[in-house]
Amino acid sequence: MNPEFWQKRWQEKRIGFNQSEVNPLLIKYWTELNLLAGSRIFVPLCGKSIDMVWLAAQGYEVVGIELVESAAQAFFAEQNIQPTVSQHTKKPAITCYQGQLLDKKLKIWVADIFALTSTDIGHVDAIYDKAALIALPADMRCDYSAQIRKISGNVPQLLITLRYDQSKKEGPPFSVNGEQIQQYYGNHYQITELANEPASIGSAPDIKVTEQVWLLNKS
């Protein structure tokens, strides 16, 4: 899954993974994290997700990472925010977009997630992963979960995944089952399945899909 793949998807506007409404599972289960108002939320592979708008509306600061710069630009444009744009002090290829969203600070790093450090991200209190893990093929997910822990300090996560017969559709989004969640996170988190609900994939409406919500707390 190389950067050119995602650049092309955004360029061709093949972004069915980008929802037009806030994810109802986020709204329903977010309180399971028991966060204080003003907490800082990390959203990996954030795209232009309006879930970030909902998080800001609940009183949280948001920091996201997105590989495709046009996605970050689209987010700020759609929210009528004029961002401050700056380059990473040590890695000029990395750009940071910052602005105020509903009176809360919001920052989106345009970078490969593996290129950033905990110093870049800064302190975060929780992670919301709706689109990152399921966007990655199996051979990248262990490295991804390790990088997430490394740059976040192993904070709690609300993780949403899809499960379906992968033989019937090529990802992304990829199918991720409970055994794989244990493989990627079980050594470092206490894992609780909060929900298991019927869902669908827009590009494959005939495939039976289950959407699962996981609470990951530091073990």
Residue 70 lies in a domain: yes
Domain count, the chain: 1
Within a domain: residue 1? Answer: no
d(CA 161, CA 174): 9
What is the bridge-based pairing of β-strands 126-129 and 157-163?
parallel
User: Tens digit of pLDDT for each residue in 58-71?
Assistant: 999 999 999 999 99
9 falls within a domain: no
Q: Are 132 and 143 in contact (CB under 8 A)?
A: no
* pLDDT tens track for 75-84: 999 999 999 9
The Cα 124–Cα 61 span in angstroms is 9
Residue span of the structural domain in which 149 resides: 23-218
CA distances from 41 to 87, 108, 172, 210 (A): 22, 12, 24, 26
Residue 7 lies in a domain: no
* Residue 12 placed within a domain: no
Contact assessment for residue 103 and residue 43, using Cβ atoms and an 8 Å cutoff? no
Render pLDDT for 178-207 as a digit per residue (tens, 0 to 9): 999 999 999 999 999 999 999 988 777 889
**For the chain, how many residues are written?**
219
- pLDDT in the model for residue 12: 53
Q: Domain holding 122: CATH number? A: 3.40.50.150
Residue 134 in any domain: the answer is yes
Rounded to whole angstroms, how far apart are CA atoms 179 and 152?
Answer: 23
Residue 106 vs residue 171, higher pLDDT: 106
By the 8 A CB rule, do 110 and 97 touch?
Answer: yes
Cα pseudo-dihedral 185, 218, 24, 27, rounded to 10: -170
Does residue 43 form part of some domain? Answer: yes
18 lies in some domain: no
Model confidence at 147, in pLDDT bands (50, 70, 90)? Answer: very high
Sign of the CA dihedral 143, 146, 148, 150? negative
Structure tokens, 77: 């444009």
